């Protein structure tokens, strides 16, 4: 028997195709991870390919871990020798080895979004920038985009030299790069940019090409331009490149993902073999039929249709709610009803378009004492107390890290004010040394005796902790750190009763260290920090704990749930703004997002929308999402019929013209067509004659002269 006998026909074809370029178009829930892992096991166990010659790349630690475990369960310890990694983890490994070629030490720090903003805030202060529109978050996002597009500060400045704001951003970008380099630090974009720079060095590239002769990429539709270049460089010599993805699940355009990478794969590799995985093992037929009906409206969708051997299943529950609170009540009533019928809380997931939509649901769940957890809002590793401890560990690992040292130099309080810190920083700049090294020369800086004592004790403790980090375990270092700085007492004094819950978070951090130490033979501090820095929003998801899950649709990708509530499905929320709805590419990405949301559901799917809700502090009237209109009526429950009847055109419009007559007169509008009015927003044409059109808006009907219509309304797309 072959390992591949457990795969279906198309999966088996994909797993057996080893030589040359291969594109596996894998629909949602079609067993792509199973196919990839069996393919790796088959290559090693039956074909005899060395596991060291195989590289498999994916996007999250969770996905990489699952793939590794599956391969090991199939072929044992040989599976451990294959590199199965995220793009960023692969880049970090490479940079730890070859980073000196680019001027980095191997213990460089990886800066997250908060760290980036701190660096930028300092630079804006140096430049005396007063424009409130130039926020740290906006500039950080712009810099990341520029890096991933391969645009240097100089190129950016030349391109936009007549715009003063661009000059500021360019100068910040330039200083930001210098600051990170001086701190021996990289942000997430740097990891990819620097990985590509290493691959531009022929000697390193050839070594890696010969090492990894068989390359697999999961979720290929999510690759950005740099990841695309990295993969193509690595695969250029042997061309044994297998990419797996689904163009219908390309939903990260805002992060730089380029759907053309998967759509144009055959152009890049003209002799590529294409295999489609269309049998879905996750959802009922009704749910899949709805997903297929929605996504077929995208021009970018390939000829791929999900099907299943499962039963038809329940119809999709569509609910029209009066307002946001009515929507929450509906969801809670259904959860309570299903719970009484025998389901667990962990069966339910509430999906929404933006994190801001979670607040009302949180209030409702708390009111009814229903356990829940939000994924993708405030993540565990972003909490202040966790960031403090990680900042200490980062400085112990990399003493050049001024960003994290600045965070902790006065935590707990050591009476170190801004002026004192400025003195030390100025001294470090004059001497050309790091901030940490300046703490070893306090006698030369001209500080008050009390400040010298406080900073001297801090420096001595940090030196002791650095010594422990070289020989002791990370958990041992952690304990010495907490006791050495008196961190628990600090939390209790600062937060009072809330201090205990924050201490629990710190203890949970210790648990994460101990768990990792059990998994690896020797966990170094550098490896631990690297692991933490690459954690994603849903890596903390625990499938065993009994709570309702709340998350954005983006964060749900790759996951599956028995019962899904898709809430807030209204135009200008989902899909987003009027601007989004008028841009075909952006609208198609929103539709792919809807497809992802629908296909997360295994057994039951609820879709709800409100007639009105508070947005940005104001009450606004809503219209249901156009994506709901794309789901065939026979797949929806009775609620849909009531909605259709309620929203059908009212009789009585004077001189109403029948459809065939409209076509005969060649009028520019048609009944049922959606439009966008400059003042009244979204509407639907419900009546028309040779002089006027009647439009149903959310707050009522209006008549507009046909001759003036083009000035006020835009045809929807």
CA 23 to chain centre: 24
- Is 26 marked as a binding-site residue? yes
Residues of the chain with CATH 1.10.486.10: 383-537
Residues of the chain with CATH 1.10.10.160: 109-183
Measured CA distances, 647 to 607, 686, 699 (Å): 18, 10, 12
Rounded distance between C-alpha atoms, residue 332 and residue 370, angstroms: 9
Region 649-654: mean pLDDT is 41
Which numeric CATH code is attached to 316-379+541-638?
Answer: 3.40.50.300
pLDDT at 506: 92
Report residue 428's pLDDT band, with 50, 70 and 90 as the boundaries.
very high
Rounded distance between C-alpha atoms, residue 628 and residue 605, angstroms: 13
**Could you give the 3-state DSSP secondary structure of residue 542?**
coil
pLDDT at 620: 79
pLDDT one-digit tens code per residue, 269-293: 999 999 999 999 999 999 999 999 9
DSSP structural state of residue 574: S
Choice between 419 and 538, residue whose per-residue pLDDT is larger: 419
Tell me if residue 219 is catalytic. Answer: yes
Residue 592, both tokens: 């792919």
Rounded distance between C-alpha atoms, residue 28 and residue 600, angstroms: 8
Report residue 537's pLDDT band, with 50, 70 and 90 as the boundaries.
low
pLDDT at 290: 98
- pLDDT over 70, % of the chain: 92
Region 665-670: mean pLDDT is 71
Q: Determine the topology of domain 673-715 in CATH.
A: SH3 type barrels. (2.30.30)
pLDDT at 129: 87
Q: Determine the topology of domain 9-98+194-279 in CATH.
A: Rossmann fold (3.40.50)
DSSP structural state of residue 570: B
Closest by Cα among 243, 279, 281, 280 to 263: 243
Left if phi > 0, otherwise alpha if psi is -120 to 50, otherwise beta: which for 308?
Answer: beta
pLDDT at 520: 78
> Could you give phi then psi for residue 562, rounded to 5 degrees?
-60, -45
Residue in 45, 218, 247, 588 annotated catalytic: 218
Answer CATH for 383-537 from 1.10.486.10, 1.10.3720.10, 3.40.50.2000, 2.70.240.10: 1.10.486.10
Rounded distance between C-alpha atoms, residue 613 and residue 108, angstroms: 47
User: For residue 439, is the peptide bond before it cis, meaning its omega torsion is within 30 degrees of 0?
Assistant: no
pLDDT one-digit tens code per residue, 74-116: 999 999 999 999 999 999 999 999 999 999 999 999 998 889 9
pLDDT at 158: 76
SS3 labels along 203-265: HHHHHHHHHCCEEEECCHHHCCHHHHHHHHHHHCCCCCEEEEECHHHCCCHHHCCCCHHHHCH
Report residue 554's pLDDT band, with 50, 70 and 90 as the boundaries.
very high
**Count of residues for the chain?**
717
- Is 29 marked as a binding-site residue? yes
Region 522-533: mean pLDDT is 88
Range with the poorest average pLDDT among 80-84, 163-167, 220-224: 163-167
- pLDDT over 90, % of the chain: 67
CA 703, 708, 713, 717 dihedral sign is positive
Report residue 195's pLDDT band, with 50, 70 and 90 as the boundaries.
very high
Rounded distance between C-alpha atoms, residue 29 and residue 24, angstroms: 14
Residues of the chain with CATH 2.30.30: 673-715
pLDDT at 164: 65
Tell me if residue 600 is catalytic. Answer: yes
pLDDT at 699: 59
Range with the poorest average pLDDT among 251-255, 379-383, 418-422: 379-383
Residue in 219, 327, 388, 572 annotated catalytic: 219
Choice between 167 and 186, residue whose per-residue pLDDT is larger: 186
Mean pLDDT for the chain?
89
Contact criterion met (CB below 8 Å) for 506 and 386? yes
- Is 27 marked as a binding-site residue? yes
pLDDT one-digit tens code per residue, 313-359: 999 999 999 999 999 999 999 999 999 999 999 999 999 998 888 88
Residue in 118, 276, 592, 600 annotated catalytic: 600
Tell me if residue 218 is catalytic. Answer: yes
Is pLDDT of 6 > 80?
A: yes
Choice between 619 and 315, residue whose per-residue pLDDT is larger: 315
Q: Which CATH architecture has domain 109-183?
A: Orthogonal Bundle (1.10)
Report residue 713's pLDDT band, with 50, 70 and 90 as the boundaries.
confident
* Number of Cβ within a 10 Å radius of residue 547: 15
Region 150-177: mean pLDDT is 82
Residue in 32, 604, 624, 692 annotated catalytic: 32
Number of H helices, E strands in the chain: 32, 21
CA angle 135/573/113 to nearest 5° reads 30
- Is 30 marked as a binding-site residue? yes
Residue in 58, 116, 249, 308 annotated catalytic: 249
Tell me if residue 33 is catalytic. Answer: yes
- Is 501 marked as a binding-site residue? no
Choice between 699 and 658, residue whose per-residue pLDDT is larger: 699
Tell me if residue 431 is catalytic. Answer: no
Contact criterion met (CB below 8 Å) for 315 and 612? no
CA 619, 621, 624, 625 dihedral sign is negative
């Amino acid at each position: 028997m072959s390992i591949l006998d457990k795969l279906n026909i198309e999966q088996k074809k994909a797993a057996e195709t080893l030589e040359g370029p291969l594109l596996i178009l894998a629909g949602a829930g079609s067993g792509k991870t199973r196919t990839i892992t069996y393919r790796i096991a088959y290559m090693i166990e039956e074909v005899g390919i060395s596991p060291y010659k195989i590289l498999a790349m994916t996007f999250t630690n969770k996905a990489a871990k699952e793939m590794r475990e599956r391969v090991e369960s199939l072929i044992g310890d040989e599976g451990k020798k294959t590199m199965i990694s995220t793009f960023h983890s692969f880049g970090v490994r490479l940079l730890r080895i070859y980073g000196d070629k680019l001027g980095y030490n191997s213990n460089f720090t990886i800066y997250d979004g908060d760290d980036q903003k701190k660096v930028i805030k300092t630079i804006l202060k140096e430049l005396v920038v007063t424009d409130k529109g130039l926020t740290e978050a906006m500039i950080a996002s712009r810099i990341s985009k520029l890096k991933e597009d391969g645009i240097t500060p100089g190129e950016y400045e030349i391109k936009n030299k007549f715009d003063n704001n661009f000059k500021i951003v360019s100068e910040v970008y330039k200083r930001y790069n210098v600051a990170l380099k001086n701190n021996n630090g990289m942000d997430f974009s740097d990891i990819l940019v620097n990985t590509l720079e290493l691959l531009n060095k022929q000697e390193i590239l050839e070594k890696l090409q010969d090492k990894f002769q068989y390359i697999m990429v999961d979720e290929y539709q999510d690759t950005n331009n740099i990841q695309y270049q990295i993969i193509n460089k690595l695969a250029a010599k042997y061309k044994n490149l297998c990419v797996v993805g689904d163009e219908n699940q390309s939903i990260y355009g805002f992060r730089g993902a380029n759907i053309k990478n998967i759509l144009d794969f055959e152009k890049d590799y003209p002799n590529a073999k294409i295999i489609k995985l269309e049998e879905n093992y996750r959802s009922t037929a009704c749910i899949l039929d709805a997903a297929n009906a929605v996504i077929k409206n995208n021009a970018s969708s390939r000829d791929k249709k999900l099907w299943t051997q499962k039963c038809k299943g329940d119809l999709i529950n569509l609910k029209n709610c009066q307002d946001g609170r009515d929507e929450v009540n509906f969801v809670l009533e259904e959860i309570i009803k299903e719970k009484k019928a025998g389901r667990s809380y962990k069966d339910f997931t509430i999906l929404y378009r933006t994190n801001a939509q979670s607040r009302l649901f949180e209030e409702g769940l708390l009111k009814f004492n229903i356990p829940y957890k939000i994924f993708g809002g405030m993540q565990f590793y972003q909490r202040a107390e966790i960031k403090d401890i990680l900042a200490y560990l980062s400085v112990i690992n990399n003493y050049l890290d001024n960003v994290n040292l600045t965070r902790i130099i006065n935590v707990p309080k050591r009476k170190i004010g801004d002026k004192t810190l400025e003195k030390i920083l100025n001294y470090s700049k004059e001497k050309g040394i790091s901030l940490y090294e300046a703490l070893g020369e306090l006698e030369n800086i001209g500080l008050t005796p009390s400040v010298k004592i406080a900073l001297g004790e801090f420096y001595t403790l940090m030196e002791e902790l650095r010594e422990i980090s070289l020989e002791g375990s990370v958990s041992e270092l952690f304990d010495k750190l907490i006791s050495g700085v008196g961190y628990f007492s600090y939390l209790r004094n600062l937060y009072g009763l809330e201090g205990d819950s924050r201490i629990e978070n710190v203890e949970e951090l210790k648990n994460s260290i101990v768990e990792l130490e059990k998994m690896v033979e020797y966990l170094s501090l550098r490896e631990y920090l690297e692991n933490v820095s690459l954690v994603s929003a849903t890596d903390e998801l625990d499938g065993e704990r009994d709570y309702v899950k709340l998350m954005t649709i983006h964060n749900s990708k790759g996951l599956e749930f028995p019962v899904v509530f898709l809430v807030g499905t209204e135009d200008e929320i989902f899909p987003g703004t009027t601007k989004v709805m008028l841009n075909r590419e952006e609208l198609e990405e929103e539709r792919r997002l809807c497809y992802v949301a629908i296909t997360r559901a295994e057994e039951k799917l609820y879709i709800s929308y409100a007639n009105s809700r508070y947005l940005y502090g104001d009450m606004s009237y809503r219209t249901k999402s156009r994506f709901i209109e794309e789901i065939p009526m026979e797949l929806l429950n009775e609620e849909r019929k009531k909605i259709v009847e309620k929203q059908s055109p009212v009789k009585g419009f004077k001189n109403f013209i029948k459809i065939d007559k409209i076509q005969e007169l060649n009028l520019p509008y048609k009944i049922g067509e959606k439009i966008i009015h400059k003042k009244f927003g979204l509407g639907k044409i419900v009546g028309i004659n040779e002089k006027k059109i009647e439009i149903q808006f959310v707050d009522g009907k209006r008549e507009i002269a046909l001759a003036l219509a083009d000035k006020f309304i835009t045809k929807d797309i």
